[in-house]
Amino acid sequence: MLPDDVHRLLRAGLPFSLPDDALVRLSVGAHVSDAAPGEHLYREGGGSFTFLVVRGLVRMYMRSPTGREITVRYVRKGELTGLSSVFAGGPPLSFQALTSTRALHLRPDVVDAAARVDGRIAYAFAAQSSRSLVEFQREIGRQAFLSVRQRVARHLLDLARAAELGLSVRITQQELADAVGSSREVVARALGGLRAAEMIRTSPRGIVLLDAEALYAEVSGAGPPPA
Residue 46 confidence (pLDDT): 93
Residue 122 confidence (pLDDT): 92
Residue 225 confidence (pLDDT): 41
- pLDDT tens digits, 119-165: 999 998 888 888 888 888 887 777 778 899 998 998 888 777 655 54
Residues 6+ apart with CB under 8 A from 118: 22, 25
Residue 67 confidence (pLDDT): 81
CATH class of 146-220: mainly alpha
Distance set, CA 174 to CA 12, 63, 171 (Å):
34, 14, 8
Residue extents of the structural domains in the chain: 4-143, 146-220
Residue 226 confidence (pLDDT): 42
- pLDDT tens digits, 67-125: 878 888 888 888 889 999 999 999 999 999 888 899 999 999 999 999 999 999 999 88
- pLDDT tens digits, 150-209: 989 988 887 776 555 457 788 889 989 988 888 999 999 999 999 999 999 988 878 988
Asked if the domains at 4-143 and 146-220 fall in one CATH topology, the answer is no
Residues 6+ apart with CB under 8 A from 18: 11, 26, 120, 121, 124
Instruction: Tell me the whole-structure pTM to 2 decimals.
Output: 0.73
Return the higher-pLDDT residue of 64 and 14.
64
Report the range out of 7-11, 12-16, 116-120 with the highest average pLDDT.
Answer: 116-120
Confidence category of residue 38, pLDDT binned at 50, 70, 90 = confident
| Bridging pattern class, strands 69-75 and 51-55 | unpaired
β partners of residue 105: 31, 51
For the domain spanning 4-143, the CATH number is 2.60.120.10
Distance set, CA 179 to CA 46, 72, 155, 184 (Å):
22, 8, 7, 11
Alpha carbon 215 to chain centroid distance?
A: 20
β partners of residue 80: 52
Confidence category of residue 5, pLDDT binned at 50, 70, 90 = low
Which residue spans within 36-92 are E strands per DSSP? 40-42, 51-55, 58-63, 69-75, 80-81
